[in-house]
Every structure is written in structure tokens, then in C-alpha cells.
Amino acid sequence: MFIIDHFEPEWAIMDDNTRIPRAYLPRDACEGDILVQYAAQEYRVDAEATRARHQALRSRMENLFK
């Protein structure tokens, strides 16, 4: 499992500093998405895990500022 931290022109940089070529990712991949490796040179966004992660982060932020 990888989480996209940010993009550089040719690379997607993961939260653990792993670099994955952007060409291996779906075109709609965004910062914060969770990726799973599908094949040697193909990654897919795990939409369910990404939604769950975003919801957990939102919940933490709401609790932090109460």
C-alpha cells in the first residue's frame, strides 16, 4: 500500500518517499490517494481505502478543533 504525498513532473512521491513513475498510475490519481500495485508497472487507486482514510482524517481534525 502506498499513499501519494505529492507529484513531481515525472514522478509520484509516496508518503514514505518511494518514487513511482507517473506513467504507472491512473490519470485521475490525486495526492492523498491510496495505491495498490496491480502489476509490475501498474498501480490502481484503492477508492474504498482512500475514502476511509479521508473520513478518519476529517474526524480527527473535527475532534482536534472542538
Summarize pLDDT for 5-39 with one digit per residue, the tens.
Answer: 999 999 999 999 999 999 999 999 999 999 999 99
Cβ contact 14:22 at 8 Å = no
Rounded Cα–Cα distance for residues 60 and 7 (Å): 25
Q: What CA–CA distance (Å, rounded) separates 40 from 22?
A: 14
Q: What residue type is 32 in one-letter code?
A: G
For the segment 42-66, what is each residue's pLDDT rounded down to a tens digit? Answer: 999 999 999 999 999 999 999 888 7
**Taking the model in full, what pTM does it have?**
0.85
